Structure 1
């Protein structure tokens, strides 16, 4: 039995009566080809069973058109919208996303970074900026474009597409003070390797200091970003005396966990205690009462991170700092003390 001869790019071009460059554009930059021509080419590709030689493309272009994204967790919706927008923009430019989760573990993240670079990723999307000097030195030595999101920092030599976490939580704390709250508690994520969690606490502390409320001794408890862990932390907070009139949470997942535990304990929200979140994921709109939170432009952040990485890989720009704005979304879970 003879080996089957694989169809080539030239075979597709001959079948459709177009140039090989047109076939290549249909496969790599389809938006640049007229729809009728594109459909004819793709039909021929399917009929012939043609598959591009990825290895040859990489050798020719010295690029893989693959981008890595490492997120702290995939177990909840916090990063989902941003990642979807990131992938959509890459796909629009015929690029592929490889995604992995570090489980909020710095060593796992470093291993994933090195693995993605070794496998030829053209660029990386990383969450936050708190990581070891050694991994930054590694990335700088490799010269691979990196965009850090969900945070903001100095541009050179890294790019940022994100927002000021401290300012976001500060704006929500200021609104709570305006409503009359004086006894605050903060249910935070673990801050050791999470600059976003640290900044959100810092923003609230700053507002309390500005309003001469630091003496109130804000209770800060850390928990994992799960409903049950947040519920347990909320219960510990509410066992303190005097009770806070507001529990601010590091994200919406924690806030919903706190809301559910409050209901289980017979604690009325917001009559007995206000609860707020951060992120404004869809979950915030479907719980009862509706969750007051800080809106984060996740989709815009993901899209612009992809645009920036693609531009850097193409040599069209260097590192940039793109700062997006957050704003408070006030729903029913926040009210003046006492309801």
Structure 2
């Protein structure tokens, strides 16, 4: 018969004992290993042989024992938690980055907390504070646009952090990403080299987004070097969605053929594919009437016909390197992550050609 609360035989009593040190020693004794090996099997499984790991797990299961995370944290002064704050999970580029980070952290016995700021620095700051209060040992943030108070808190608490998806020389923070300005100089120069002189830009909002500001700066630098300027009406800013790309295409094709842009630079592939759909719906020929470029090289970019000319960014590499840099800092006094530039690659496909 089941005992009352606190009496021998009580299910609650057994559960609480199952998390205690006595049972850890019992698991170790029955599995024929040390208590350190038991802990290592659960925290750093790659450092324990498969046979020993299986024996420990089987023994722990038979005894009903599970590791006590709070106890481990107190004993080691470690929480084994890392955090990442990204703008959104709607875009596959960030999910690729987070997936790569999680694989690296898991290999080193770290759990990953994920939050989305929705491009709101104040919301991102609150999420970061919550993560800090939860004991994160390292943090990754997208871009540079964050309140100075966040950087100050991380520095004061000696929590290593990296900024992802952006890179610039001389930045005061460790950055693992690519040079957005240089990438869009390259895209614009490529279109100029084809002979285009009338441009439009369809871009996501620049508010609280340093990456977009850098991209616009790159486009303007390349045009200025060619003696050209972007007409204000041809800078179309809006939500990074297919629908906005489609509506932007309808706006551009409504202009007289003799004066409308012949090249459309888009801030990402989603916008570019929307523009492509909208122009096709209106009966335009691509690339005969319009050349279109995207950015990111998402999976769909190469599947449609004509396939999209775009810039490839290895977001998995960004996530992997960022996580590796943070892991290297853990457990090392005053260690700091290092910046790393990931190179972009222009992938020329079928949506670009010389203007008719």
TM-score (norm: length of structure 1): 0.94
On the 8 A contact 2:220/2:230 being kept in 1, the answer is no
On the 8 A contact 1:72/1:127 being kept in 2, the answer is yes
Aligned equivalent of 1:259 = 276
> Structure 2: how far apart are the matches of 1:28 and 1:106?
34
CA deviations over 1:51-106 (Å, ceiling 9, x no partner): 11111111122221111111111112121211111111111111111111111112
Structure 1 position 244 matched with structure 2 position 261: yes
> Structure 2: how far apart are the matches of 1:158 and 1:240?
45
- SS of the equivalent of 1:221 reads strand
Aligned equivalent of 1:51 = 66
Aligned residue pairs: how many? 338
Q: For the structure 1 residues 238 and 105, does the alpha-carbon distance in structure 2 shift closer, same or farther, using more than 3 Å as the test?
A: farther
Deviating above 6 A after TM superposition, structure 1's stretches of 4 or more consecutive aligned residues are 215-218
Aligned equivalent of 1:121 = 136
Aligned equivalent of 1:277 = 294
Aligned equivalent of 1:323 = 341
- SS of the equivalent of 2:276 reads helix
- SS of the equivalent of 1:328 reads strand
Q: Which has the higher contact order (CA 8 A, sep 6+)?
A: 1
> Structure 1: how far apart are the matches of 2:252 and 2:310?
20
CA deviations over 1:185-210 (Å, ceiling 9, x no partner): 11111102101111111111111111
- SS of the equivalent of 2:214 reads helix
- SS of the equivalent of 2:71 reads helix
Q: For the structure 1 residues 297 and 218, does the alpha-carbon distance in structure 2 shift closer, same or farther, using more than 3 Å as the test?
A: farther
Gaps of 5+ in 1: none
TM-score (norm: length of structure 2): 0.90
- SS of the equivalent of 1:79 reads helix
> Structure 1: how far apart are the matches of 2:121 and 2:232?
31
Aligned equivalent of 1:199 = 214
The within-5 A match list for 1:105-116 is 105-116=120-131
- SS of the equivalent of 1:18 reads coil
Q: For the structure 1 residues 36 and 146, does the alpha-carbon distance in structure 2 shift closer, same or farther, using more than 3 Å as the test?
A: same
On the 8 A contact 1:276/1:292 being kept in 2, the answer is yes
> Structure 1: how far apart are the matches of 2:307 and 2:212?
23
Gaps of 5+ in 2: 4-8
> Structure 1: how far apart are the matches of 2:173 and 2:231?
39
C-alpha displacement of 1:11? 2.1
